[in-house]
Amino acid sequence: MKASHIEDELKKLDTAQTELSPLVRSRLDETYAQLSQLSRNRSKRAAPRLRRAVFATTAAGVVGIGLFASAFVSPVMADSLRNIPIIGSIFSTIHNDSGLRLAGDLKLSTTVNREVSHEDVTLRVTEAFYDGNRAAFLLDVTGSKMDNGMYNNGEKTMKLSNAIDNVFFTVNGQEESDGGNMLIGGLFYGSAGEAHPNTLVFEQIMDPASVSAVSDSFTGTITITLDGMKEPLKLEIPFTKTSNSAIEVSPNAVTANGEFTFSVSKVEVTPVTTRLKTSLALTHATTLTEKEELRMRRIGAAVFDDQGRQLAALSGDGIYEGNRLIYDRRYASTPGTSKYLVVKPFVIKDDFAEDIQEDQYIKELETRIELPSH
């Protein structure tokens, strides 16, 4: 069995009109690094201690990890927002992830207020969210070294999202790379947006199999070293599952076009996260060549709700088994309830294109998943 942590569900970007946020750029950089390191002769699952993901972009299901679907905050709007007192959840202001925005709007996040200080820098976790699929929290950084999202280490000034030398997230003293725990898929972080320049959003993907075996509450520990600091800072963060209205379906839906067989074996939908387990098989093969593996990695899966709204792709983990590429795919849920989802496999042509064109879809593999009513 060959494993590859491919993380390859990127929403496509129009780089001519929008600049990649630090969070998205970091996810892209890590994804492409992993793709280039894949080896057919041994399993490889990258687990870097520092992952830079960007919660400030749009992503539409392409190679790698995507993020949030919706517009960027304009500089004029951002300036206006800075003058408005914060009311409610900061998660509600994250325009790039419809799921986390819903968590804020629906008051699914919990107030934390844990802080630690060192060398005139204070780290404060203000909110946390957990739905069994991903755990997210907001980290506010204050002190004389901070000025409107810029961090000064005494020698140079840099964006806060670039000022983290190292970061670890652990549960029960274990990191994701230790294996055998509830952490998979990586820890991602980035700016909460121009309206909150001193706040970072962190997101950890959770293993549903391990999560189901533990209680709905757990305590995670974040350990952060900022640029120029000699000692790391640690904070314990309590998480409580705040979304129990999950829909789980095992449709075992299968489509084929003579060359490929595509199936969706499991779907889980919460108000914040939509998760699919998919399989893409090369029909007339028992094992895959390196060229065939690469080709299969270049087939994405776009997901639409019953109103035709595309779900923003978040991340994914893939593994090869025989002639198949099996994926655990995560997307941001859209507002409201859907009667069904439509999964549309497509050929990835341009990782930075904004929209998937009709000629990219593999129409014979399109799959409709009926969802039970809530």
DSSP assignments along 123-137, one per residue: EEEEEEEE-SSEEEE
User: DSSP class of residue 44?
Assistant: B
What pLDDT does 76 receive?
35
Q: In this predicted model, what pLDDT tens digit does every residue of 225-234 receive, in sequence order?
A: 999 888 899 9
> What is the per-residue pLDDT for 374?
59
**What local confidence, expressed as pLDDT, does residue 60 receive?**
28
Query: What pLDDT does residue 254 have?
Result: 96
Least confident range of 119-123, 161-165, 245-249: 245-249
Query: What pLDDT score was predicted for residue 214?
Result: 61
Per-residue confidence band for 89, with pLDDT thresholds at 50, 70 and 90: confident
Predicted local distance difference test score (pLDDT) of residue 58:
28
Do 136 and 25 have their domain in common?
yes
User: Which residues constitute the domain of residue 263?
Assistant: 247-370
**Do 164 and 279 fall into the same domain?**
no
Number of H-type helices and E-type strands within the chain: 5, 21
Residue 208 falls within a domain, yes or no? yes
Residue 9 included in any domain: no
Among 65-79, 312-326, 333-347, name the one with the lowest average pLDDT: 65-79
As given in the structure block, the two tokens for residue 52 are 């830079």
Task: Count how many residues are written for the chain.
Answer: 374
Tens digit of each residue's pLDDT (9 = 90 or more) over 105-130: 888 888 998 999 988 899 999 999 99
Q: Is residue 358 part of a domain?
A: yes
Q: Is residue 273 part of a domain?
A: yes
Hey, which of 5-9, 42-46, 240-244, 313-317 has the most confident mean pLDDT? 313-317
Nearest to 68 by CA among 45, 90, 101: 101
Domain-ending residue, one of 218, 240, 262: 240
Same structural domain for residues 236 and 253? Answer: no
Tell me the backbone φ, ψ of residue 88, rounded to 5 degrees.
Answer: 80, -155
Sole residue written with tokens 């839906």: 253
Query: Token pair 């949030």 is at which residue?
Result: 68
Q: Count the Cβ atoms, other than its own, within 10 Å of residue 238.
A: 15
The whole-angstrom separation of Cα 164 and Cα 151 is 10
Is the Cα torsion angle 341, 343, 344, 348 positive or negative in sign?
positive
pLDDT digits (tens, 9 = 90+) for 198-221: 999 998 888 766 766 566 888 999
Q: Which tokens sit at 132?
A: 């069994």
pLDDT digits (tens, 9 = 90+) for 280-312: 999 999 999 999 999 999 999 999 999 999 998
Number of domains in the chain: 2
Q: Which residues contact 46 (CB under 8 A, 6 or more apart)?
A: 5, 30, 33, 34, 37
Please report the pLDDT score of residue 211 as a whole number: 64
Q: What is the pLDDT of residues 16-52, one digit of tens each?
A: 333 334 444 444 444 444 444 443 333 333 333 333 4
**Better-scored residue on pLDDT, 183 or 121:** 121
Report how far residue 82's alpha carbon sits from residue 60's, in angstroms, rounded to the nearest whole number. 29
Per-residue pLDDT at 175: 77
Residue 5 counted as domain residue? no
**Final residue of a structural domain among 240, 256, 283:** 240
Amino acid code (one letter) for 136: A
Q: Of all residues in the chain, what percent carry a pLDDT higher than 70?
A: 72
Task: Kindly provide the residue ranges of all beta strands, DSSP E only, lying in 177-259, ordered along the sequence.
Answer: 183-191, 199-206, 217-226, 233-240, 247-249, 253-256
pLDDT at site 96: 66
**27 contacts: CB under 8 Å, gap ≥ 6:** 7, 10, 51, 52, 53, 54, 64, 65, 66, 67, 188, 315
Same domain? For 165 and 219 the reply is yes
Whole-model pTM?
Answer: 0.66
3-state secondary structure of 239: strand
In the chain, which residue ranges form alpha helices assigned H by DSSP?
Answer: 22-37, 75-82, 98-105, 208-211, 290-297
Q: Nearest-CA neighbor of 202 among 218, 183, 184, 222?
A: 222
Residue 3 belongs to some domain of the structure: no
pLDDT band at 354 (very low <50, low <70, confident <90, very high): low
The CATH number of the domain where 98 resides is what? Answer: 2.60.40.1630
**Residue 165 shares a structural domain with residue 282:** no
Residues 6+ apart with CB under 8 A from 112: 125, 126, 127, 128, 137, 237, 238
